[in-house]
Amino acid sequence: MVSETINGLQALILLFFLCLTLGAFGAWLIARLGSSLRLIDSPNERSSHYRPIPKGGGIGILAAFVVSCWVLGIPAGFWLPVGVLSITGLVGDHLEIAPIPRLLIQFVMAFWFLMAATAAEDLSSGWIGKALLIVPLIIFVVGMTNFYNFMDGINGIAGLTGVVGFALMGTFAFFLVGKEQYGLLSFAMAFGCLGFLPFNLRREAKVFMGDVGSILLGAAFACLIVLIAKSWSDWLCLTGFLLPFYADELSTMAVRLKDREKLTQPHRRHIYQILANDKGIPHWQVSLGFGFFQRIVVLSVLLVNSHGIIAVLLTLCFYFAIFAVMTYYLRASVRRLSLS
């Protein structure tokens, strides 16, 4: 028994090291070959960078995801739809895909995942077993996929959020609700993001994650929430792991709608963009700040989760209100400077 435990631990260490290596290798490879592969993000007036940077470095995280799912025996009904979304993102990094076809693919893949999960009895009973929830859950998966993608706009923010979010999700799944298989996959994803970060979380990024990485992380996170949560309280708690992303995206959407902007148009009005571009704060400092706020939120909701969904909801509303008030004054100060 002891020897089997040691062998299992050694295998996990090897898996996590492999994910770390794949995340780093994918970033290094695209940094070297991105130009010849036409995976280049050229700056424009809406960008937060000032020179062409290779994009698509998240392909190493995709490789780590696929390998981990295979090693851990994760059903294909989970990893195939997520993988297809990520590969679609890679195509989008190379050739622009119109919003409607992209959304159509995302909705089909989300439906595939949920049907596979239902057939495997992951969703056939308990908090999520009613057919009426399928449509809201499809919207949830697609929405989280795009929110993560929209927030990948400065060096390190998507990768660091992935490290913190997936590591804490792994802790929740493995130690608190007994979903060891999905917990180990979450840890593996965190190591894949960690391997990518040295090439991106720096003053001048060597490579960007690209849609292949950000769409992968958003879709995987959403699908893991659906599979891990055992109650509505768990679902809300896990969803709150990405509260800084939601708070920034939702508050920015509200401001843009108020100013009668088209939401489909590129912009630089996210809080992380204002901090990096208007305030001149280095990207890595802004990303670390978001990661620190994310960790505080996660630890808070984990502490109150045992008290039920109302406690979790009130905690998330509290932090959202703090974010909204602080960013209101930040936007106001930037507006005053622009008018002076």
Q: Dihedral, CA atoms, 43, 45, 50, 54, nearest 10 degrees?
A: -20
> What CA–CA distances, in Å, run from 244 to 233, 234, 249, 298?
19, 18, 9, 10
Rg (CA), the chain: 20
List pLDDT tens digits, range 84-123: 999 999 999 988 888 899 999 999 999 999 988 877 655 5
- 159 touches 64 (CB < 8 A): no
pLDDT band at 312 (very low <50, low <70, confident <90, very high): very high
> What CA–CA distances, in Å, run from 198 to 50, 68, 160?
20, 21, 10
Question: Does the pLDDT of residue 125 top 60, yes or no?
Answer: no
Return d(Cα 162, Cα 192) in angstroms, integer. 9
List pLDDT tens digits, range 160-169: 999 999 999 9
Question: Does the pLDDT of residue 13 top 90, yes or no?
Answer: yes
Q: Give the pLDDT score at 124.
A: 46
Alpha helices in the chain (DSSP H): 2-33, 59-72, 76-94, 99-119, 134-150, 157-171, 180-196, 210-228, 232-239, 243-258, 271-273, 283-304, 309-339
Q: Dihedral, CA atoms, 305, 309, 314, 320, nearest 10 degrees?
A: 80
pTM, two decimal places: 0.92
Question: Does the pLDDT of residue 68 top 90, yes or no?
Answer: yes
Return d(Cα 243, Cα 323) in angstroms, integer. 10
Considering the chain, what percentage of its residues have pLDDT values greater than 90?
A: 69
- 200 touches 58 (CB < 8 A): no
What tokens does 10 get?
């050694």
List pLDDT tens digits, range 222-251: 999 999 998 889 999 999 999 999 999 999
What tokens does 311 get?
């406690």
Question: Does the pLDDT of residue 48 top 70, yes or no?
Answer: no
Q: Which residue has the higher pLDDT, 48 or 309?
A: 309
Q: Give the pLDDT score at 2.
A: 42
Q: Give the pLDDT score at 165.
A: 96
